[in-house]
Amino acid sequence: QKEVEQDPGPLSVPEGAIVSLNCTYSNSAFQYFMWYRQYSRKGPELLMYTYSSGNKEDGRFTAQVDKSSKYISLFIRDSQPSDSATYLCAMRSYSGAGSYQLTFGKGTKLSVIP
Amino acid sequence: DVKVTQSSRYLVKRTGEKVFLECVQDMDHENMFWYRQDPGLGLRLIYFSYDVKMKEKGDIPEGYSVSREKKERFSLILESASTNQTSMYLCASSYLLGGWNEQFFGPGTRLTVL
C-alpha cells in the first residue's frame, strides 16, 4: 500500500459547483498536511496547510483532516475556471537527517467548465 | 518574493550524454530538493540536501547525482542520460526548521532524452 493515495481524476465540474478532493494515508508519523496547486507548465505552490483534525477555512477553500480515519479533504466552494489545475496533497514527516520531507499524492486534475 | 529558478524550461539531450540541471534559490533556505514528475506517478523525490556539501538520497536516486557547493545552488546531474529519464524535473527549497517547512518550487525543466 502506498503511503499516500489520491485519485488522479480527471475531475470536470461546472462553474459554481462545490469540489471535493481527497487523500488517504497510511503512515501515522505524518504530522502536517498540505495542499498544493499546480497550474499547467508551472511548479506547485502551497495553497493551504493544517495540523490538527478538523476544518480550516480560507476564502472559498476548506481543508479538512480526520486523523482517526487517516483522511484529508480539500473543498472548493463556488468553483471558478481559474481553479482549473492539478491539486496535490502533501504530508510532512521527519526524515531523520535533520530535516523534514514531504510525501506527495499523485495529484488530481480539476477542470472547471464555464 | 521567494524565487526558485531553474536553468532551462525545456531541454533535449541524446542517450548517453551528461546532463546538468541547475537550481538557484534566493531565500537563504537550508533545504533544497530535486523531484521528477511523471503522469500517473506524481512527484517523486530524487535527492535532497539540508546543507552545503550535504546530500541525502530520496526515493529514486539511481542514475542521478547531485552537487551543492553553495547554499543557494543545487545541481542535478544525469551521468549518462537514458530515455527513461525523460520527465519534468522540479527543484524546491525550504527552511530547515520551524514553521511549516513550506517547499517553494521552481517552474520545472522538461527534459527529453532521445
Domain ranges of chain A: 4-113
Find the range with the poorest average confidence among A27-31, A69-73, B57-61, B93-97. Answer: B93-97
CATH superfamily for domain B4-97:
Immunoglobulins (2.60.40.10)
CATH superfamily for domain A4-113:
Immunoglobulins (2.60.40.10)
> How far B64 CA lies from chain A's nearest CA (Å)?
19
Q: How would residue A1 be classed by pLDDT, with cut points 50, 70 and 90? A: low
Q: For B52-96, write each residue's pLDDT tens digit.
A: 999 989 889 999 999 999 999 999 999 999 999 999 999 999 886
**Encoded amino acid at A6, one letter:** Q
**Distance of alpha carbon A60 from alpha carbon A6, whole angstroms:** 21
Burial of A3: CB neighbours in 10 Å, binned 0-12, 13-18, 19+? middle
Q: Looking at the partner chain, which of B42, B94, B102 has a beta carbon nearest the beta carbon of A107?
A: B42
Phi then psi for residue A48, to 5 deg, are: -150, 155
Residues B44, B58 contacting (CB under 8 angstroms): yes
Asked if B50's CB is within 8 angstroms of A98's CB, the reply is yes
Give, in order, the Cα–Cα distances in Å from B68 to each of A16, A101, B51.
47, 18, 8
